[in-house]
Structure 1
Amino acid sequence: MDDRYSLEYRPATIRHGSGVVAALEDELDRRGRSRALVVTGSTVGSTPAVVDPVTAGIGGHLTGVFDEVGAGKRLGTACVAAEQVQAWNVDALVSLGGGSSLDAAKIVSVLAAHDDARAAAERMAEQKRITVPNGPLTDIFAVPTTLPGADLSQGAGVTLSMDTGDVPASERPSGGVSDPRLMPEAVFHDPALLAETPTDVLSRSAMNGFDKGVEMLYAREHTPITDGTAIRGLRLLQGSLPELPDAPSESALSAALRGIAATQYGVSTPRTYRASIIHSFGHALSQNYPIQQGVAHAIAAPHVLTYLFERVDGRRDLLAEAFDVDAEGPEAAAEAVVDAVADVRDGLELPAQLRTVEDAEKTDFPQLAQAVIDDSFMAAAPAGLDADQAGIESVFAAMW
């Protein structure tokens, strides 16, 4: 038995609790930062119940609020913010909102580290590649208002276009970046802010974060440490996520945030990202249809797990332990895990069939299957899984 493993991980400081954003100024002071720019989207930026506690928490260290981030995470938009960082001598970025705001803040940090942010952005757009310069980057402090589990990550994605407008998802040239310096310095998990997020938005994002915990257990670079946090996180999420669609209590929101923190702990480390085949299917769907990543996961996850368990063990015993299902034998365990994931999906009131997605056609299956096979996250798939075109197409047929 080969029990060797490696885990190099320096996560953000996590502050959890209702009203915890009031400690933003203290955290900035502790790290010697005094000029903070809030990076967020227009919806959050125009919602006083969300943005006001954050700006108040930053206090006299606030230099401004940049509220132009869109779902497309355009490179051109990040460039505008980076120019503000340079002009105002900003030394801290406070991302406020969902995964798009956090990704945008990371790209802003990268661009602002170049002598000429606009020239750097234009070069990256032309080369279709994000380049991170040597030296320090602007520190990031994350205040998530959704649950995709992106805030303990050193990676980010962006649409590689200088245009600040929007185009269909299938036409967006996208790029990613990963660097330990992009791990947030601190994360503020505040249930009071989460309570202001529309429940449908919470549900969609939660499915994405939930699936990170599922995949942490069978991803190729699993470790005993990430096994433990993922199991604990999945138990918290299994109990709390079904409450999200119906005016969730603060205790449910707190449990969901604690579960997301546990399931994403260690997912993003140097040279390794512990998300796998479900995320590859999610990318294929969200990059070809006008759907959010969490919706793509909701449709795909149970069928992807069925496919996985038909071909490899997939550490189904640990997944069964996480979902506290009593099943005798490997086949029963696999079936119980798939049912548990589907139950969470249904509890979140998310779509279950691909046919409900706008523009989806059965004739797309070959193209979608190739996108899954080519996706970089497939490198983390369990050992022994041979993802062939016909097999992947059969998964899309099952989810139709």
Structure 2
Amino acid sequence: MQFTFRMTTRLFLGEHCVDKHSSELAALGKRALLVTGGRSSKQNGSLADMMAALTKEGISYEIFDQVEQNPSLNTVYQGSKQAREMKADFIIGIGGGSPLDAAKAVAILAVNDISQQELMAKNWSKDPLPVVAVPTTAGAGSEVTPYAILTVDWAETKLSIAGENLFPVVSYLDGRYMMDLPWDVTANTAVDALSHSIEGYISKRASVMTDLLALESIGILGRILRTIDPQNITLREREELLYASMLAGMVVAQTATGVVHGLGYQLTYFKGLPHGLANGVILKSALKFMAQAAPDRVQKVVEKMGCCDLQELGELCKRVLPPVQLKLTAEEQAKYVSKTMQSKNVDNCFKRPSEEDLRRILVESELI
């Protein structure tokens, strides 16, 4: 039995955890830049809670609230300019995966004057500023990973950067911030977390430790997706989704992702599908492919989801996710397959997919 496991983030989960554990912020410095989106963190109370905590600890702050879905390189460079000008000691990301990932990139660029190409090549010499994460969706798991996923237009896809010092130093998980989250966002992000755990479990890089976390996460997500009432989601269910997403993040922090994310990135970049929805559309067909090399693991996923077979799992995804009316042209499918083959994601599969395998996944997902 041999494996490595690294997760350096200090976690606090529970109601009002930002206020209860605000002293953790005082150790990070006297000036913070808050990186967030334009609306949701203001509406759900997370931004106000963090501003109150910073004030209580005597920490000055500024806000950069220009982060869009699937953050661009231009956006993170703008944020880093503000961080440098205010001489920030640390960065706080508040929101879904996009603001958290953007915060990590800002933390790098705040102390490294490098080009976009150098950033994406992970060619920085100075350690990033410390990052604090406050997730307000349950899907990305960025609060416990060393990754930042960014939209890179010159590569025509989403790409990741990674580094040991990109693990957030502190993460605050409070289910209250998700109470008014729309159902489509709740479902999309939950399926994103599910794909993290599944891809991490059916991976060449899996270990006994990540298996433990992945199966726990899959079991929780499967139960909630089968039984949840979209019109009456309780705080307890929100907390469980947040917990399961965190576990999934811990998994992919060790294993990275696989073919689902590899293909899903193309559907997000070129077709604008929300990330979790893009993953969910192809999940069943991707699992069918994975079963060629890891049938026992795929069967275990089906069982933990509380399903009888892959057909039922696919029907569950269709039931909870928004409908997708999308047909790819022959040119589009060829391009998406080619770009996926060039990604590192496919190298993590027990069986590395061929172009025909990827095309079959698209066909069986009713996208062609």
Superposed pair shares fold, TM > 0.5: yes
Could you tell me which amino acid in structure 2 is paired with residue 342 of structure 1?
G
- What SS class does the counterpart of residue 176 from structure 1 fall into? strand
Task: Say whether 1:297 aligns with 2:284.
Answer: no
Cα pair 1:245 1:349 within 8 Å, conserved: no
User: What whole-Å deviation, never above 9, does each CA across 1:240-296 have from its counterpart, x for those lacking one?
Assistant: 235273231001101111111222223214xxx431111112123222212111111
* Correspondent of 1:15 among 12, 17, 27: 12
Seen in structure 2, the aligned counterparts of structure 1 residues 244 and 134 have a Cα distance that, compared at 3 Å, is farther
Which stretch shifts more, 87-96 or 103-112? Answer: 87-96
Q: Which residue of 2 aligns with 1:255?
A: 240
Q: Which residue of 1 aligns with 2:45?
A: 49
How many angstroms apart in 2 are the aligned matches of 1:62 and 1:344?
A: 47
Q: Which residue of 1 aligns with 2:339?
A: 371
How many angstroms apart in 2 are the aligned matches of 1:129 and 1:171?
A: 10
Cα pair 2:32 2:92 within 8 Å, conserved: yes
How many angstroms apart in 2 are the aligned matches of 1:319 and 1:48?
A: 33
Which stretch shifts more, 64-73 or 104-113? Answer: 64-73
Could you tell me which amino acid in structure 2 is paired with residue 155 of structure 1?
Y
- What SS class does the counterpart of residue 267 from structure 1 fall into? helix
- TM-score between the two structures when normalised by the length of structure 1: 0.83
Question: How many residues were matched structurally?
Answer: 362
Within a 5 Å distance, the mapping from 1:315-394 to structure 2 comes to 315-324=297-306, 336-339=308-311, 341-351=313-323, 356-357=325-326, 360-382=328-350, 385-394=351-360
* Correspondent of 1:38 among 31, 34, 37: 34
Seen in structure 2, the aligned counterparts of structure 1 residues 263 and 173 have a Cα distance that, compared at 3 Å, is closer
- What SS class does the counterpart of residue 244 from structure 2 fall into? helix
- TM-score between the two structures when normalised by the length of structure 2: 0.89
User: What whole-Å deviation, never above 9, does each CA across 1:310-362 have from its counterpart, x for those lacking one?
Assistant: 4543623532453356xxxxxxxxxx3524532542452333x5xx13x7335
User: What whole-Å deviation, never above 9, does each CA across 1:69-116 have from its counterpart, x for those lacking one?
Assistant: 1124122222222122222221121101111101111110111112xx
Could you tell me which amino acid in structure 2 is paired with residue 92 of structure 1?
F
Could you tell me which amino acid in structure 1 is paired with residue 176 of structure 2?
A
* Correspondent of 2:168 among 184, 194, 197: 184
Could you tell me which amino acid in structure 1 is paired with residue 252 of structure 2?
V
Task: Say whether 1:138 aligns with 2:136.
Answer: no
Q: Which residue of 2 aligns with 1:199?
A: 183
Task: Say whether 1:150 aligns with 2:142.
Answer: yes
How many angstroms apart in 2 are the aligned matches of 1:159 and 1:136?
A: 22
Q: Which residue of 1 aligns with 2:265?
A: 283
Seen in structure 2, the aligned counterparts of structure 1 residues 83 and 390 have a Cα distance that, compared at 3 Å, is closer
Q: Which residue of 1 aligns with 2:80?
A: 82
The gaps in structure 1 that reach 5 residues or longer are 162-169, 326-335
How many angstroms apart in 2 are the aligned matches of 1:188 and 1:267?
A: 19
Cα pair 1:208 1:297 within 8 Å, conserved: yes
Could you tell me which amino acid in structure 1 is paired with residue 236 of structure 2?
S
Could you tell me which amino acid in structure 1 is paired with residue 127 of structure 2?
P
- What SS class does the counterpart of residue 4 from structure 2 fall into? coil
How many angstroms apart in 1 are the aligned matches of 2:276 and 2:245?
A: 14
- What SS class does the counterpart of residue 246 from structure 1 fall into? coil
Task: Say whether 1:109 aligns with 2:107.
Answer: yes
How many angstroms apart in 2 are the aligned matches of 1:265 and 1:229?
A: 8
By how many angstroms is 1:207 displaced? 0.9
| Percent identity for Structure 1 against Structure 2 | 18
Cα pair 1:45 1:67 within 8 Å, conserved: no
The gaps in structure 2 that reach 5 residues or longer are none
Seen in structure 2, the aligned counterparts of structure 1 residues 160 and 303 have a Cα distance that, compared at 3 Å, is closer
* Correspondent of 1:245 among 214, 221, 230: 230
**Structure 1 segments of 4 or more deviating over 6 A?**
none
Q: Which residue of 2 aligns with 1:308?
A: 290
Could you tell me which amino acid in structure 2 is paired with residue 265 of structure 1?
M
User: What whole-Å deviation, never above 9, does each CA across 1:211-260 have from its counterpart, x for those lacking one?
Assistant: 11111211111100111111111111112235273231001101111111
How many angstroms apart in 1 are the aligned matches of 2:256 and 2:70?
A: 24
Cα pair 1:241 1:347 within 8 Å, conserved: no
Cα pair 1:319 1:337 within 8 Å, conserved: no
Seen in structure 2, the aligned counterparts of structure 1 residues 302 and 225 have a Cα distance that, compared at 3 Å, is same
Could you tell me which amino acid in structure 1 is paired with residue 74 of structure 2?
G
How many angstroms apart in 1 are the aligned matches of 2:21 and 2:82?
A: 21
Cα pair 2:90 2:129 within 8 Å, conserved: yes
Q: Which residue of 2 aligns with 1:329?
A: none
Cα pair 2:290 2:298 within 8 Å, conserved: no
Could you tell me which amino acid in structure 1 is paired with residue 134 of structure 2?
V
How many angstroms apart in 2 are the aligned matches of 1:144 and 1:244?
A: 22
Seen in structure 2, the aligned counterparts of structure 1 residues 398 and 346 have a Cα distance that, compared at 3 Å, is closer
